[in-house]
Amino acid sequence: MFCPLQSKNINKEEELRFGQEMYETLNEAQRSAVDKILGAYHRRSATTAPCFFIDGPGGTGKTYLYNTLCYLFKGQGVSGLTVASQ
């Protein structure tokens, strides 16, 4: 999966603002997933890293959820990797 923010020239404030705007449009299930992922990231320890698996039928907003997370994390100066598989 392509994270839309893989540019070297990242404006953190702009990315965070865009991520927050996207967050406001998430449905309840998406918002719950984002909250859990962000919470787990901020509670992580030096020896563990959270890993999440998002699954659902086509058209349910998984890519939008991933993109929202990318913007929110990049806005906080955090880089990440998103991976898709079949």
Tens-digit pLDDT profile for residues 37-60: 999 988 888 888 778 889 999 999
Q: Could you say which DSSP state residue 9 is in?
A: S
Domain-located, residue 36: yes
Query: What residue numbers bound the domain in which 16 lies?
Result: 12-75
Half-sphere exposure of 13 (CA within 13 A, CB side): 0
Residue carrying structure tokens 């404030």: 13
- Domain count for the chain, please give it: 1
- pTM for this predicted structure: 0.81
Question: How many CB atoms sit inside 10 A of residue 59's CB?
Answer: 7
Chain-centroid distance of CA 43 in Å reads 16
Average pLDDT, the chain: 86
32 domain residue, yes or no: yes
User: What is the rounded CA–CA span in Å between residue 64 and residue 26?
Assistant: 8
